[in-house]
Structure formats: C-alpha cells, structure tokens
Amino acid sequence: MDRVLIEGLAVETVIGVYAWERSIRQRLSLDLELATDIRPAAAGDDLGHTLDYAAISARIGEFAAHSHFQLVETFAEHLAALLREEFAIAWLRLTVRKPGAVAEASTVGVRIERGEAP
C-alpha cells in the first residue's frame, strides 16, 4: 500500500485546559500518512483516483477552525475519525504537535494510527 503524505500542516484552533487557552486560538502542526493505492491515479494521471491532499488539507483547516477541545488527544481522535469517514481512508497515521506548550520543549503532541495497517 502506498502513502499520501501531508507534513507540517499548520492550523489554528481553540485547544487547551487552562482558562486563558479557552479564549485564544493556538497553532497546531500536523503530519499525516494516508494509506491508498496510487497506481490507478498514476495510470490515468487522474486526481479522482487518489486521495486529494489539497481537499484533505482544506477540510482539516475547516475542522480546526470550528473545534474547541481541551486535549490534543481529543482533537486527534475526532480528526482521524472524520478523515477516515469523509475520505474513505482505510488507515492513517496522524501526528499533532502543539509548539510552545512546554517551555523546555520545542513541541509536544501525540501520534495515533487508526484503521487496518496495510
């Protein structure tokens, strides 16, 4: 199985457990690996036969803009479920990073895999 990659996708959302975090938007950085078979798209040079990373990126931005979660874990779970359902993705690996959340670290975050690994 092949993988479509989206790396370093920046989105802004309401995320955090502290009261001050609930009143601002913060930047998250996302990396995705999406399993698909790219051979049909490559054979016909046809976007309709692969995962459209521009459409997926736009949908992620829309999701983030309307989300209000406390935990990065919850954001990741809901986003993974949405992507798998709306884009018929059998398997994905999603990394969500929250830069600046811990002063001593460049970033913190979670990495999840959902679906059947190819």
Is residue 98 among the annotated active site residues? Answer: yes
Options 11, 15, 89, 98, the catalytic residue: 98
CB 32 within 8 A of CB 94: yes
Which residues belong to the active site?
98
